[in-house]
Amino acid sequence: MDKNDRIYGLGETLGTLNKRGKKYRFYSTDDPMHTPEKEALYGTHPFMIVDGKNTFGLFIDFPAELIFDIGYENINTLKITVTGKNFDLYIFENENKNSIIEEFLKLTGTPFLPPKWAFGFQQCRWSYPDKESVNNIADNFRKREIPCDAIYLDIDYMENYKVFTVDNNKFPDFPQFARDIMKRGFKLVPIIDPGVKIEDGYNVCDEGVKNGYFCKDKDGKDYVTAVWPGLTYFPDFLNSTVRNWWGNLYKDFNDIGIRAFWNDMNEPAIFYTPDSLKEVSDILKQNSGNTDLGIEAFTAKDKMLTMANNRNDYKSFYQKDESGNIINHDDVHNLYGFNMARGTAEGLMNLDPEKRYFLLSRSSYIGQQRFSYIWMGDNFSWWDHMQVHFRMLQSLNMCGFFYTGPDIGGFGGNSSPELVIRWMQLGAFTPLYRNHSAIGTRNQEPWVYDEESNDILKNIIRLRYAFMPYAYSEFKKSTENLSPFIKPLGFVFETDRAKDAEDQYMYGDSLMVAPVYTPNARGRYVHLPEVKWLKWTASKFEDRNMTVYDSGDYFIDANLNEIPLFIKENSLIVLENPKQYTGEKETENLYITGLVTEESEFTFYDDDGESTGYKNGEYYKINIKISKTETEFDVNVEIDDTEEYPCTIKNIFFEIYDETGKKYTMETKID
Amino acid sequence: MDKNDRIYGLGETLGTLNKRGKKYRFYSTDDPMHTPEKEALYGTHPFMIVDGKNTFGLFIDFPAELIFDIGYENINTLKITVTGKNFDLYIFENENKNSIIEEFLKLTGTPFLPPKWAFGFQQCRWSYPDKESVNNIADNFRKREIPCDAIYLDIDYMENYKVFTVDNNKFPDFPQFARDIMKRGFKLVPIIDPGVKIEDGYNVCDEGVKNGYFCKDKDGKDYVTAVWPGLTYFPDFLNSTVRNWWGNLYKDFNDIGIRAFWNDMNEPAIFYTPDSLKEVSDILKQNSGNTDLGIEAFTAKDKMLTMANNRNDYKSFYQKDESGNIINHDDVHNLYGFNMARGTAEGLMNLDPEKRYFLLSRSSYIGQQRFSYIWMGDNFSWWDHMQVHFRMLQSLNMCGFFYTGPDIGGFGGNSSPELVIRWMQLGAFTPLYRNHSAIGTRNQEPWVYDEESNDILKNIIRLRYAFMPYAYSEFKKSTENLSPFIKPLGFVFETDRAKDAEDQYMYGDSLMVAPVYTPNARGRYVHLPEVKWLKWTASKFEDRNMTVYDSGDYFIDANLNEIPLFIKENSLIVLENPKQYTGEKETENLYITGLVTEESEFTFYDDDGESTGYKNGEYYKINIKISKTETEFDVNVEIDDTEEYPCTIKNIFFEIYDETGKKYTMETKID
């Protein structure tokens, strides 16, 4: 590498946005401890861009282990190890980074538009284990008027962790319960794991065994591992017959109206196998009575620790491809989550082609943006993981995963009120806005702290909802243009300083977000490249005090309740009054703001938010153009709708700033 | 707490410099994984300063478990839990933070002056296991002309981890080997662990058993645990008889001339006990044959993981105080390392009162600054741990541990060349400058990378040696004035912004260090409070390009080979030509630089660097005063020496800047 080359991409990996200085391994792995030295996480995204002396893109399509050493062993050497011969290497020759991404997405597929509620707030916990606790969460949101669109069901909703079952003791009359809660504006999002509990009389297990749908051991018997339910079989998703079967298992949920899911544990995670458990027992048995093990005590400990997700186990089972060829799982390991998502997506589309679905997957592979979104796995309530959040957000967007996000507030470990506040601010400007935490950790729902913290959190979530028209419009545009919704500053401004400002990013094309991600901070440094910027240290929708900044470096004050936002010169953002949930009521008023020194345009997009009708023209757009004149501004509003899908907006309120910081308010009525 | 109160202190703890937002537990613990949520590390330093509405200091003298919740559970609540009634609470009522520290040190004791070589560079590795490898390290330093003053011996130098033994196979004729290497200017620093291997015929074990020097179980039998050597006994350091015995065990080393040691594992660390090992075996045995454990498999895993350093074990053994009272270890747990250090220090002083000793301890307690220095324990090759480094450095200095530092480059995990370079830059401005790494990790000696990286590292170490006169003089002054050698910016400037600039610190009274601690950085933001500053982006002693800055906020460029340093207006730093090791030759030339707008003074201090003669006046000082006149500078140099200990300096070269950035060079000859 040239000394000044920057390397971008690699999707769901730890480390900096410029990937230099670290080694990355793609072998999808359920590792719940994302410490900085870790090389492999849940997904496999071997697409990168070299930006510098010779700018180009590179994608290696290979489903087994891949290693990228990017200036780790030797500071200026990039070394890629492909552990097999049967791979496709794509080079994207283009000087423009955004064009490289466009070409890459033309090759690997278009990210799909989620239902609009996916841009609302989503509440998760391992677990809300029964009807009462879910209803209690729902009550709290509505009673406190904190907007929320989704409540998740983690593994405890199932009967003994049997996938596609619901525990009737915890959720008596589940269909009625689900319909009731959905009527209140909450989507219910059950978790789905691939591991099928081995149990006679359990239909999923029985069908899979009978039809030979499960992965096999070397002798052709159904391969046994252990995950949440104890001993389980893994469906062989490599095969379309199995995918079709699996996709149809979502029917019961679909019939109730549940079309939102999260596929977990699909690397696939393995806790242990009967063989590996026996191995540890044997070591201890062997040493039984011998207490003077010295350092040898570590051997048993290490064995115990490496029992989960062990490579040897992945090498011990087999899958069957479309043509019936037997393939060692290890050779196609990184496709397991991909094909599970594919089966799920095809099933859901088939079950109700008229309605969008929502699907998160933990494991993923390049191209999966066509079927599912992903979340970033089991992070921790560490401040450092806010950096992982915004870096991974940018890197995943480059790889086609526009809609993504982490567990806000941190999954593992306990969080402090301040951490959750700062993280919820960052999350408000992340497509997937989901607060999630693990069993045994401190609760982090937005009302569990002191009154002041709770107020701040409520206002942040309301701010998120105020941005709904902007986020939904810009996201739609990004899928149309094959241009990431989240962009690094260095993909918009080609200066060294912009490229190195990894802790600031574009959320849509108009807004730069500069989150505060350190404890006890009263502000942060911000780099403003090239143009003028309209600063909003935002605490709530109703307070929209804006200041014009020239390009440069600034320490920006930001109290605990504030996040620094910057609207780019000659671009606009569109807000609305926050709703309680996305489908609560129609939007009638839009609020448009920005700093206009010459001319700026914004296209507002809207549709019903739930159906697939937008694919057939059931949507409308409003093109807004603002031009600076000698003394004030010209505003031009054009409605582009149809009789079948007419515009619902009645008023547009403008709050436009000139370069002196003077605010002009205008209003447009739409009949 | 008031919303704007800042909390300082707590010594060796994770988290920010302002300790708000986290929970801290003092129960000295060997935890090798310093992830951000950890509450307890190796040391116990319950001294804190509240800085804000009501400024005061607080120290709780209590040797058992203490918990400080500083705005973690509730954002504005400070809650201290003392787990017993028998404690002393000291409140320091003073508006001035530095005066609070002075009072605290008057109470708890004065940090002692290390030998001068302790300000040189020190190389460590787990392990350089034999004569050849140590000699090879020494050869590399001298051959490559990279300065170095010490090479450490980690646990593998011992015979079967038996403390106070040397393995004769690995180190044949150890005394001659040691004398040879010391002749070349390297101190040899062996590790000493408290755990005594249980072995008949091993003198330390035999003497301890015979005289009843070991901790006892509830039945009065010698308590058995397991550490490196396998089954061991723990000396009962609470008792002066045991401390005297232990201190005298250093005699063989002392006789060879080895007076530098590091006391490890003295929390005391426990790998397991015969009982706890049996417990895990039993669980697995019980489940033997049952492979369908499901989540229950985690139980055995958890048991295995919590076997080490288990509180139940600490509650299971007993110590005897000076009056012969039996005390449960748990009640005095936090004093174990303290008393081991005390025994060691008294032994070494007794063995040769004329000569200084060097002693690092891993575990520590308030007041231990009188006996030993400490290092920061088993960190990791994570960029985040550079932040732990400079924050802990400031916090430990407040608690009296002026001379301290972490494992530069990181102990656990593999490091990249860039990480080691940036960390070595930070380490160059840290009293203890020791590069250390664990077995099985990538080597990080300063010649293992590519040529460019190696050159950078060599220049950084040489820069460290150039600062020797400054560091030694300022450190001496800090012990005289009971004023920390390392000070947070907020202890010198009372602005909010200075207080929040936790990643900049004063190294002595003249120099502010602003290390680069993020990967792929080409610079960093720096806050310059109140006065003017002379900026030196330092890469080597020979390049001394300086620029004058007004107070304010700046993005300071810093290439990989550079660390931003700032000399405070009207203060001076003193440099010398880098030596190969501290005692190589006498210093004849001093280089003095600074930005003088009115008047500045510096007192250069020197002594023989090794003896305790400085306590009896065997030292000299040079008082340097520079005043700005209309057109240039008045330089005043006063030698304060004696015939018994005369000044060795022959020339002083001045490079003084005025506020326009103009450099004036002057020279003073001393006869």
The 10s digit of each residue's pLDDT in B519-567 is 999 999 999 999 999 999 999 999 999 999 999 999 999 999 999 999 9
Q: If you measure CA to CA, which chain B residue comes closest to A305?
A: B301
Which one of A520, A522, A549, A560 makes the best mutation probe of the B interface by having the most chain B beta carbons within 10 Å? A520
Q: Between B74, B230, B287, which is nearest A294 by CB?
A: B230
> For residue range B17-37, what is the model confidence (pLDDT) as tens digits?
999 999 999 999 999 999 999
Q: Which residues contact B16 (CB under 8 A, 6 or more apart)?
A: A518, A519, A520, B22, B391, B502
| Number of other CB atoms surrounding residue A349 within 10 Å | 17
CATH of the domain at B38: 2.60.40.1760
A100 and A167 co-located in one domain: no
Q: Establish whether A378 is a catalytic residue.
A: yes
CA A97 to CA B446: how far, in whole Å? 37
Domain enclosing residue A85, as ranges: 1-108
Marked catalytic residue, from A12, A264, A606, A607? A264
Residues of A in contact with B277 (CB under 8 A): 291, 293, 297
Q: With CB atoms and an 8 Å threshold, state whether A71 touches B418.
A: yes
In a domain, B670, yes or no: no
User: How many angstroms away from the CA of B76 is the closest CA of chain A?
Assistant: 9
In a domain, A301, yes or no: no
Over chain A (671 residues), what is each successive 10-residue block's mean pLDDT? 97 97 97 96 98 97 98 96 96 97 98 97 96 98 98 97 97 98 98 97 98 97 94 97 98 98 97 84 65 65 84 96 95 98 98 98 98 97 98 98 98 97 98 97 97 97 98 98 98 97 98 98 98 98 97 98 98 98 96 98 97 96 96 94 92 97 95 80
Give yes or no for B554 touching A (CB within 8 A).
yes
User: How many angstroms away from the CA of A517 is the closest CA of chain B?
Assistant: 13
In a domain, B632, yes or no: no
For A617, B203, B212, B229, B322, the CA distances from B207, given in Å and listed in that order, are 91, 6, 8, 18, 20
Q: If you measure CA to CA, which chain A residue comes closest to B294?
A: A230
Give yes or no for B293 touching A (CB within 8 A).
yes
Give yes or no for B229 touching A (CB within 8 A).
yes
Q: Could you tell me if A231 and A225 are in contact, meaning their C-beta atoms sit under 8 angstroms apart? A: yes
Q: With CB atoms and an 8 Å threshold, state whether A228 touches B294.
A: yes
CA B174 to CA B156: how far, in whole Å? 14
Q: Which of residues 111-130 of A touch B (CB under 8 A)?
A: none
A67 and A185 co-located in one domain: no
A342 and A453 co-located in one domain: yes
| Number of other CB atoms surrounding residue A165 within 10 Å | 17
Residues of A in contact with B292 (CB under 8 A): 226, 230-231
User: How many angstroms away from the CA of B496 is the closest CA of chain A?
Assistant: 9
Q: With CB atoms and an 8 Å threshold, state whether A292 touches B230.
A: yes
A377 and A408 co-located in one domain: yes
Q: With CB atoms and an 8 Å threshold, state whether A527 touches B555.
A: yes
Give yes or no for B75 touching A (CB within 8 A).
yes
Q: Between B75, B297, B384, which is nearest A277 by CB?
A: B297
Q: Which residues contact A543 (CB under 8 A, 6 or more apart)?
A: none
Give yes or no for B21 touching A (CB within 8 A).
yes
Q: With CB atoms and an 8 Å threshold, state whether B519 touches A15.
A: yes
Number of domains in chain A: 2
User: How many angstroms away from the CA of B277 is the closest CA of chain A?
Assistant: 7
A189 and A122 co-located in one domain: yes
A126 and A91 co-located in one domain: no
CA A594 to CA A570: how far, in whole Å? 7
Can you give the length of chain B in residues? 671
Q: If you measure CA to CA, which chain A residue comes closest to B416?
A: A72
Give yes or no for A271 touching B (CB within 8 A).
yes
Q: Between B18, B305, B416, which is nearest A22 by CB?
A: B416
CA B555 to CA A553: how far, in whole Å? 7
Give yes or no for A326 touching B (CB within 8 A).
no
User: How many angstroms away from the CA of A647 is the closest CA of chain B?
Assistant: 46
Q: Which of residues 445-464 of B touch A (CB under 8 A)?
A: 449-450, 452-453
Collapse the DSSP code of B412 into the 3-class scheme (helix H, G, I; strand E, B; otherwise coil) and give the result: strand
Q: Which of residues 134-163 of A touch B (CB under 8 A)?
A: 161
In a domain, B429, yes or no: yes
Q: With CB atoms and an 8 Å threshold, state whether B228 touches A16.
A: no
Q: With CB atoms and an 8 Å threshold, state whether B15 touches A449.
A: no
Q: Establish whether A264 is a catalytic residue.
A: yes
Last residue of a domain, one of A432, A466, A500: A466
Give yes or no for A414 touching B (CB within 8 A).
yes
Tokens 């009462």 belong to which residue? Answer: A132
CA A56 to CA A70: how far, in whole Å? 15
Last residue of a domain, one of A59, A77, A108: A108
B176 and B155 co-located in one domain: yes
Last residue of a domain, one of A466, A483, A509: A466
Q: Between B277, B382, B554, which is nearest A291 by CB?
A: B277
Q: Which of residues 35-64 of B touch A (CB under 8 A)?
A: 35-37
A120 and A100 co-located in one domain: no
In a domain, A61, yes or no: yes
A384 and A456 co-located in one domain: yes
In a domain, B354, yes or no: yes
B263 and B177 co-located in one domain: yes
Q: With CB atoms and an 8 Å threshold, state whether B37 touches A272.
A: no
Give yes or no for A22 touching B (CB within 8 A).
yes
User: How many angstroms away from the CA of A597 is the closest CA of chain B?
Assistant: 28
Residues of A in contact with B497 (CB under 8 A): 555
Q: With CB atoms and an 8 Å threshold, state whether B527 touches A293.
A: no
Which one of B4, B5, B34, B37 makes the best mutation probe of the A interface by having the most chain A beta carbons within 10 Å? B37
Q: With CB atoms and an 8 Å threshold, state whether A36 touches B553.
A: no
Helices B131-144/B174-183 angle, 10° precision: 10
CATH of the domain at A255: 3.20.20.80
Q: Which residues contact A433 (CB under 8 A, 6 or more apart)?
A: A119, A120, A121, A122, A405, A408, A427, A464
Low-confidence ranges of chain B (pLDDT < 70): 284-298
In a domain, B569, yes or no: no
User: How many angstroms away from the CA of B637 is the closest CA of chain A?
Assistant: 42
Residues of B in contact with A390 (CB under 8 A): none
> Whole-number mean pLDDT of chain B?
96
Marked catalytic residue, from A378, A503, A562, A607? A378
User: How many angstroms away from the CA of B74 is the closest CA of chain A?
Assistant: 7
Q: Could you tell me if B639 and B381 are in contact, meaning their C-beta atoms sit under 8 angstroms apart? A: no
Closest CA to B68 of B29, B24, B26, B36: B24
CA A432 to CA A519: how far, in whole Å? 23
Q: Which helix (H) or strand (E) holds A365?
A: strand A364-365
pTM of the predicted structure, to 2 decimals: 0.97
Can you give the length of chain A in residues? 671
B146 and B59 co-located in one domain: no
Give yes or no for B439 touching A (CB within 8 A).
no
In a domain, B389, yes or no: yes
Q: With CB atoms and an 8 Å threshold, state whether A416 touches B228.
A: no
Number of inter-chain CB pairs under 8 A, A vs B = 186
H-type helices in B429-587, by residue range? 451-466, 468-481, 496-500
ipTM of this model? 0.95
B136 and B21 co-located in one domain: no
Closest CA to A337 of A398, A393, A262, A276: A262
